Each structure stands twice: as structure tokens, then as C-alpha cells.
Chain A
Amino acid sequence: LAKTTQPISMDSYEGQEVNITCSHNNIATNDYITWYQQFPSQGPRFIIQGYKTKVTNEVASLFIPADRKSSTLSLPRVSLSDTAVYYCLVGETSGTYKYIFGTGTRLKVLA
């Protein structure tokens, strides 16, 4: 069962690139890596998902090394509105549901 660990918190300034790393040493062959953003009193919002190498969408990039034991969410040019908690989620749903959220990384963007 994959377990995820993340830094508890990070601070950044507006306009900077932010990289949040998630460690998942027990990732299984079929496991996907997904990142979510959550604001207070709201449900998590999907950011990006990947299986290996690099994935990029309009809001973020996800870097996954060859061994897949970690992943890095990259947020380019953060703004104050990116202040939120970011969760890494590892698992798969073929058969037994095994998705487990980590405790999350609280990102604070400063002006």
C-alpha cells in the first residue's frame, strides 16, 4: 500500500516557481500519481495526474523520475491565490481501491 509523505509547509513569493515534492517509496506498478489543491472549507480540486516522466497542463507540471518513488509538482509563477494546501495522492482502482491522501503541504504565497 503506497504511503505518501510531503513537507508540511512552504512559503514562496509571488511570481516565483514553487516545487512541492512527494515521496512514495512503496508505489506499485499500477499506481498513478495525482495532485490536488484545497482551499479552506472546499473540496479538493484536481490539478494534474501522471504515471511517469513529465506531464504538463495549463496550470502545473508533474515530474516523475524513472523509479517513480517520488514526484514533484511544479507551479510556475505563483500568485497570492495559489495559497492553499496541496495533496499528493498515489494509488489505483483496478480491483481494490487503494488511494490514500497524504497530510498535505500548506503553501503560503507572500506578496
Chain B
Amino acid sequence: DTGVSQDPRHKITKRGQNVTFRCDPISEHNRLYWYRQTLGQGPEFLTYFQNEAQLEKSRLLSDRFSAERPKGSFSTLEIQRTEQGDSAMYLCASSEGRGLSYEQYFGPGTRLTVT
């Protein structure tokens, strides 16, 4: 399977703990995106990488959130001192990023539950 993969698929953690999620994009894609989706809502943009450069961060991405893409391939999203409001599905997507038109391929998501 050469699609976008995310790990873990599910994570249950206690409030105050740190969690880290991994995303492996499609290999030839140079753009990578993180979204958060809560029940009944559309995905909300969090951040975006062009190769290893983090080009955009949403205001939703508080200082407890950090994302990296060190070699322009896989990416990690870390949430420090988790809160119950962080419970959501965290989606990763990648795209070729050529020109203005693009198609984002999404991974299956990581469902985070903060107890």
C-alpha cells in the first residue's frame, strides 16, 4: 500500500500527558498537511509543510502543539500537556504541490481520546 499512513490509529491518554503521532506521506509528495477533526465537523487545518519547511500554522495550533518534518519525508505532531479538548481525529494528508491545483491524499487518521 503506497498511500498515506498514520501511526498509531488510536491513542488513549490521561490529561496532562504528552503524545506524539507520526505520518508517512506518499513518497513523491513534497507537501504535507495536518488537520484536526471533531465529531460532526469538517477537518480543521492545523499546519502545512513544503518539504521540511513549515510554511503555515493555524491559530488552532497552540504552543502545546508542535509539528516537524525533519527530512522532508515523514512528519510528527506532538501535543504536550494534553487536555480533554484535544480529543479528536488527527488527519494527515499529502500532495504533489505543483502549481495551484493539487489533490490531497488523506491518511486514515489517529483518534486521540484524552481522559
Contacts and interface: CB of A to CB of B under 8 A. Distances in A.
A49 interface: yes
A44, A46, A49, A51: which has the most chain B beta carbons within 10 Å? A44
Interface string B81-100: 00000000101010001001
B42 to A, nearest CB: 3
A93 B102 contact: yes
B56 to A, nearest CB: 4
Q: How large is the interface on A (under 10, 10 to 19, 20 to 34, 35 or more residues)?
A: 20 to 34
A51 B108 contact: no
Contacts of A97: 33, 45, 48, 55-56
B103 A49 contact: yes
A43 to B, nearest CB: 3
Interface residues of B, number: 28
B109 A42 contact: yes
Contacts of A94: 100
B38 to A, nearest CB: 11
B111 interface: yes
Nearest to B111: A41
27 contacts: A32-B101, A34-B104, A42-B108, A43-B106, A43-B107, A43-B108, A44-B91, A44-B104, A45-B106, A46-B103, A49-B101, A49-B103, A93-B31, A93-B97, A93-B100, A93-B102, A96-B56, A97-B48, A97-B55, A97-B56, A100-B45, A101-B42, A101-B43, A101-B44, A102-B42, A103-B41, A104-B41
Interface of A: 30, 32, 34, 36, 41-46, 49, 51, 87, 92-94, 96-97, 99-104
Interface of B: 4, 31, 33, 35, 40-45, 48, 55-56, 89, 91, 93, 97, 100-109, 111
